[in-house]
């Protein structure tokens, strides 16, 4: 089943990489076809009470308000709706329409077990959206989580092998990926994305990470 592309909302700024388009279309598909959505780790960052450090996803609020949306985290530090472990999710089999799992799997001890748990809980036809890093800097948070893993495109496909449909998109081209590793350039990767497009490097698997949309 291919990703259905909805017209992007007018208040979304011009995006520098096709990964941004993939993310926004995946979110629209996911929310428009779900009743219960669980955001593991609160990666959407749309609620200032739940670790919101960015305004880039505020366009999602109208979609979120139409579903039963909750944030799950393993600790209470960021006021999640549900406290639980991704390795042992506190939900019944086939009970959730969609999971959002952004920048989480690199921080858990057993990402394969986490994937199997999300698969167990998802309803048939349910969605699982992931973002996982590949060529990305070390980023633990002391007292909260460690940083264990990085994922190649082959690793991503293996993690998601139980799902009936898996679509992937790299999040940066090769040049932008390299310069993103340096703090002085990390906020200016759009500039290098231009040269990735010019040099045909936008599709490279030498990338910061992958957007992934899985369907059970």
Name all domains of the chain by residue range, CATH numbers in brackets: 18-215 (3.40.50.150)
Q: Rounded distance, CA 168 to CA 180, Å? A: 20
Residue 11: per-residue pLDDT: 38
Are β-strands 36-40 and 96-102 bridged in parallel, bridged antiparallel, or unpaired? parallel
Residue 10: per-residue pLDDT: 35
**Which positions ≥6 away from 35 have C-beta within 8 Å?**
67, 68, 97
Token digits for 49? 């009470």
Q: Rounded distance, CA 110 to CA 113, Å? A: 5
Helix (H) / strand (E) element for 213: namely strand 209-215
Residue 176: per-residue pLDDT: 80
| Averages of pLDDT over each 10 residues, the chain, 216 residues | 43 59 94 97 77 70 93 90 97 98 97 98 98 95 92 97 96 82 72 73 87 98
């Amino acid at each position: 089943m291919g990703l259905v592309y909805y017209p992007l909302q007018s208040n979304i700024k011009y995006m520098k990489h096709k990964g941004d388009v993939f993310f926004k279309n995946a979110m629209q598909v996911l929310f428009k076809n779900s009743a219960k959505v669980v955001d593991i780790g609160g990666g959407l960052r749309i609620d200032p009470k739940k670790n919101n450090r960015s305004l880039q996803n505020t366009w999602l609020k109208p979609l979120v308000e139409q579903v039963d949306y909750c944030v799950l985290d393993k600790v209470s530090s960021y006021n999640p709706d549900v406290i639980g472990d991704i390795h042992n999710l506190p939900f019944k089999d086939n009970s959730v329409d969609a999971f959002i799992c952004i920048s989480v799997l690199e921080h858990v001890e057993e990402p394969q077990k986490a994937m199997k748990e999300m698969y167990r809980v998802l309803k048939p036809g349910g969605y699982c959206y992931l973002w996982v890093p590949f060529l990305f800097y070390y980023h633990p948070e002391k007292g909260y989580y460690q940083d264990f893993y990085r994922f190649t495109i082959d690793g991503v496909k293996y993690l998601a092998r139980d799902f009936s449909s898996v679509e992937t998109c790299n999040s940066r081209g090769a040049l932008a990926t390299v310069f993103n590793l340096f703090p002085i350039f990390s906020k200016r990767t759009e500039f290098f994305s231009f040269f990735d497009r010019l040099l045909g490097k936008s599709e490279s698997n030498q990338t910061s990470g992958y957007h992934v949309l899985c369907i059970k």
